Structure 1
Amino acid sequence: MIRRPAAGRRRLLRIALASAAVLAALPVADRIAAAVAEERIAERIAGRQSALVGTPQVSIDAFPFLPAAAEGTLPRVAVRADAVTREGRTVQASLELREVSERAGAYTAATAEARFTAPFGSFGDDLGEGASFSADEEGRLRIDRDVLGLPLTVVAEVRLTGRTVTVVPVAASFAGRPVDPAGPRISAAFSGRERTVPELPGGLTPTGVSVGDAGVTLHARADGVRFT
């Protein structure tokens, strides 16, 4: 049996330990690089969207990050932010960017899908002072309030036509008894409550609207989004 000299074994041990240290440090370095990229994208978005409140949260879905960055394309980037509309309504925005690349200091995404959620509280007194809002089991808007000390419940569908959002009552009850949702009093309460979707950033086009536990959500999409 041939024994290696002690000096040779120590050298192999040092090489093995150094290699292990490098391998252990790779995930840390990869995460740091990803965090730096996330911060750069967040600052770029915040600097160009005055409606945002604070700095958005950016998450890059690419692990390991460095090989994807070296190829020049990130498969998925998620962005979450708080914003305020021109009317002063609060909105929670989430954006999913696919195939994001950087060229000459500008970012380009092959596709972008966004959701803008307005909490129920942002409706204020638009549909009746003292009203409370929630989502029913079928994803419709439920409005409850008291009229002359008796409970009134109206269930409405939130619809998107082009860039116009309307709230259309489809069921109602007063003091536990069904009433016609198309009756004059209920119709008058909802008349003129349309909302026109303003121009969205990045060329996003409205595609739909939904009601959930967090509020009313506008869905939008765009292709070939570029933000410099």
Structure 2
Amino acid sequence: MRKLIVGLVFVLALALAADFGTAAYSEYRVSRALRDGGDLVSDPQVTIHGFPFLTQAADGRYGRVEIRAQDVPTDYVEKTTIEATLRGVRIPASDLLDGSVRTVPMDQLDARVRIDATDLGRFLEIPDLQVSTPPADRSDGTGGSGGSGETTAGAVVLTGTVPVGPLNTAVSVTAELRLDGGTVSIVASDLYFGPEGQADFTIPDFLKPAVLGLFTRTIDEQQLPFGISPTSVYAEGGQIVIEGSAEDVTIELDEIRTP
């Protein structure tokens, strides 16, 4: 009985190793195809979710695949992170394993571009820029912050050191994130003195328009992975996120970055 148990454990370990090894190799092949086709600076991270992998491969259908590529340059912001979540993916096992897969049909594709505060700061010429979401509005009608209400969609707090008259001073502003087609507009609307803010003084009214203008800019035509059209923009984790989705689509792996 002991030998039987040891034998079963050994077989199970081999099966697990084969499953994880095949999954890792398949992820590598897809990653290389994405890098070569998209002219990326490094191999993107590819994760094929679901266990066991070999069962999915035999069926040629995968529940969820995650793709993430960092330090992707653009014409407007120095670099971004691009992400894609593929659901209900259909790829023959032979094409996946030999690296010949190029066209991928799927049930749903969610695509995102993430702009880090550092790169957005370079674009705005505010090197120490910080991005945060304002506290939730109270939903019980009492006003104030920290209540149970949800933060307004598209609202963001931007903080950075900018010229205020003759001095360089830390300033926080509230801004709206607006999406028009593929164009993202950051529109500063007022000074901010809440818990995420750093400014502890009042800027004279006649200087406010100039200060707000330093935090206001348009990012032209941000293209999502595989040509998906943006449908929303919001702040998350110190980043600006531009997002879109499509259903029943077929993508070309070499078009993760489209002109």
**Counterpart selection for 1:135 from 115, 132, 136:** 132
**Counterpart selection for 1:116 from 106, 109, 113:** 113
CA positional deviation for 1:118: 1.0
Distance 1:97 1:130 in 2: 35
User: Mean Cα displacement is larger for which, 124-133 or 213-222?
Assistant: 124-133
- Taking only aligned residues, the RMSD between alpha carbons, in angstroms, comes to 3.0
Relative distance call for 1:59 and 1:120 in structure 2 (3 A) is same
Indicate the structure whose relative CO is greater, using CA pairs within 8 Å and at least 6 residues apart: 2
**Counterpart selection for 2:188 from 146, 169, 181:** 169
Distance 1:59 1:181 in 2: 53
**Counterpart selection for 2:229 from 200, 205, 211:** 205
What percentage of residue pairs aligned between the two structures are identical?
26
CA positional deviation for 1:152: 3.4
2:61 is equivalent to residue 73 of structure 1: yes
Q: Which residue of 1 aligns with 2:90?
A: 101
Residue 165 of structure 1 aligns to a residue in which SS? Answer: strand
Matched AA of 2:15: L
Q: Provide TM-score, normalisation by structure 2.
A: 0.71
Gapped regions of structure 2 (runs ≥ 5) = 96-100, 136-154, 193-198, 254-259
Relative distance call for 1:184 and 1:86 in structure 2 (3 A) is closer
User: Mean Cα displacement is larger for which, 13-22 or 84-93?
Assistant: 13-22
Gapped regions of structure 1 (runs ≥ 5) = 1-11
Contact 1:97-1:113 within 8 A present in 2 as well = yes
Distance 1:95 1:163 in 2: 17
- Structure 1, residues 30-56: CA drift from partner, whole Å, max 9, x if none? 111111111111111112112x22001
Distance 1:134 1:198 in 2: 19
User: Mean Cα displacement is larger for which, 70-79 or 172-181?
Assistant: 172-181
- How many aligned residue pairs are there? 215
Matched AA of 1:221: S
Distance 2:122 2:225 in 1: 28
Instruction: Answer 1 or 2: which has greater strand percent.
Output: 1
